Chain A
Amino acid sequence: MEGIKITKEVDARGSFCPGPLMEMIRLIRSAQVGDVVAVISADEGTKKDLPAWIKKAKHELIAEEPVEGGATRFICRKLH
């Protein structure tokens, strides 16, 4: 994502739900408002649960980028 600086990223490939979601929650807990954080996951359940959590928590899902090997990078901005 051009112009967007990811403050912190966790590669959660190899861990299954809820691992990647918990990584995102941990990142958001420790981030400052406005920070952009990312989690990479190849887990199928995460593809549904992670965006759903971001929506429920009222943060911004900036992008879901495909990553080599069939994984996805979930990029999220902390809004509050």
Chain B
Amino acid sequence: MAKNILILGGGTGGSIVANILARSLSPQEATITVITASPQHIYQPYQLYIPFGYQDPRKIARSERSLLHRRVALVVDPVEALDIKNQTVVCRSHKSYPYDYLVIATGSTVDEQQIPGFKEGADHFYTPEAAFVLYEKLQNFNGGTIVVGIGGLPYKCPVAPIEFTFMLEEFLTKKAIRQQSEIIYTFPLNDVFNIKTAADYIKADFDKRNIKTELFFNLSEIHPEKKIAESIEGTELSYDLLVMTPPHKGATFLRGHEIADADGWVQTDRHSLKVAQLENVWSLGDTTNLPISKAGSTAHFQAPVIAKQICAAIRKETVDPEKVKYNGHVACFIESGYGKATMLDFDYEHPPQPPPPTEFIHFQKLALNKFYWYLIPKALI
């Protein structure tokens, strides 16, 4: 009898796992279902470009159905509960879905409520709507202090605030208001980034472009009426425009769940990606509690590891855990502004050694943006 595979989440990770499985397993071996909250699949890296007018927010999503293999069933119904003991998922419609194998790829969501004053006082680019609001503010910005930073760890796409800062500096320069503007980049740790090799390069570039930094800045409250951002370290920063990455959390049904922590990050083995030592549940991408980048790239490299384990389990084949394991591989572009980009490519054992920014790497990033739809979710590369 065909086994029932449920994949929760129709983002990059969930789509890749579903498509690999659909191509690898016969209908007699498995039925594959993706359950997702939205019929649309957003290419989130495009959100970075919206505030500067480089990308139309209406053109960054496609139908999730169009990205899935015809053998993958798609259910658009937000998950409300997961019963590990009875191997069942319950959705908002009250329908329940049993599973033999489960992949949790529900990702992360922004939680502006965590910081008092955030919604009223801060802007960001972590949703298409928020990015468009920021676009309008930047269009009307005529000089002053812009504070950029991170409202809480962990957050999606760790290099995005750095890319935004580089692109902002270029934007202000081209608008001829850089002289009248100050950019202050804040970070919760004692450096500009949490990977030392990358931090050294970023800090050098910030210095070159006169971008100031405020380190050990853990945002505690925003006072929109006074235009002040305050940290738990007691630092107060005045701003004219505040661009803060909002705090992130896992899916609502996972917050406080037996397999996750209070914020909804799922306990995941760093190599097998199995959840909470269960033999039939895996997690990938932003969803996990792993101390690695929450990024589509992470999910891209994790997905085949999970698909291979599921195929082997269904066929009752033995898997050599040394051969089928995730090694922490992540590859992220960093837009540096002025038509150039660099790249962070690393794994658990090898920290990144970013090359100097070049136009060629920038074109690679642009090419990925264009070809994402045809290659990544469909698991062709």
Indicate the member of A19, A56, A80 with the most B CB atoms within 10 Å.
A56
Say yes or no: is B188 at the interface (Cβ < 8 Å to chain A). yes
Q: How far is the CB of B234 from chain A (nearest CB, A)?
A: 6
Given A22-B153, A25-B218, A25-B232, A16 and B190 contact (CB-CB distance below 8 Å): no
Q: Are B153 and A18 in contact (CB under 8 A)?
A: yes
Contact A19-B216, Cβ < 8 Å, known A49-B189, A52-B190: no
A29 engages B153 (CB within 8 Å): no
Cβ-closest chain B residue relative to A49:
B190
Q: In angstroms, how far is the closest chain A Cβ from the Cβ of B89?
A: 30
Separation in Å of the B154 CB from the closest CB of chain A? 8
Residues of A within 8 A of B189 (CB): 17-18, 21, 49
| Beta-carbon contact of B194 and A17 below 8 Å | yes
Contact A53 B190 (CB under 8 A): yes
Give residues of chain A (17-40) contacting chain B, Cβ–Cβ below 8 Å: 17-19, 21-22, 25, 28-29
Interface contact B216-A52, CB-CB below 8 Å: yes
**Interface of chain A, main secondary structure:** helix
- A21 contact set on B, CB distance < 8 A: 189
Q: A8 near B: Cβ within 8 Å?
A: no
Question: What sequence of 0s and 1s flags, for each residue 77-111 of chain B, a beta carbon within 8 Å of any chain A beta carbon?
Answer: 00000000000000000000000000000000000
Give Cα A32–Cα B92 distance, bound, in whole angstroms: 38
**Contact between chains at A57 and B233 (CB < 8 Å):** yes
Question: Is A13 interfacial (CB-CB < 8 Å)?
Answer: no
Contact (A57, B234) CB under 8 Å given A15-B291, A16-B291, A52-B216 = yes
Contacts A22-B153, A49-B190; A58 near B233 (Cβ below 8 A): yes
Q: Which residues of A (39-77) have their CB < 8 Å from a CB of B?
A: 49, 52-53, 56-58
Query: Which residues of chain B are near A28, meaning CB under 8 Å?
Result: 232
Chain B residues within an 8 Å CB radius of A49:
189-190
Asked whether, in the complex, the Cβ of A56 is within 8 Å of the Cβ of B216, the reply is yes
A57 and B153 within 8 A (CB): no
Contact with A along B169-196 (1 / 0, CB 8 A): 0000000000000000000111000100
The chain A residues found within 8 Å of chain B, CB to CB, are 15-19, 21-22, 25, 28-29, 49, 52-53, 56-58, 80
Please report B residues at the A interface, Cβ cutoff 8 Å: 153, 188-190, 194, 216, 218, 220, 232-234, 291
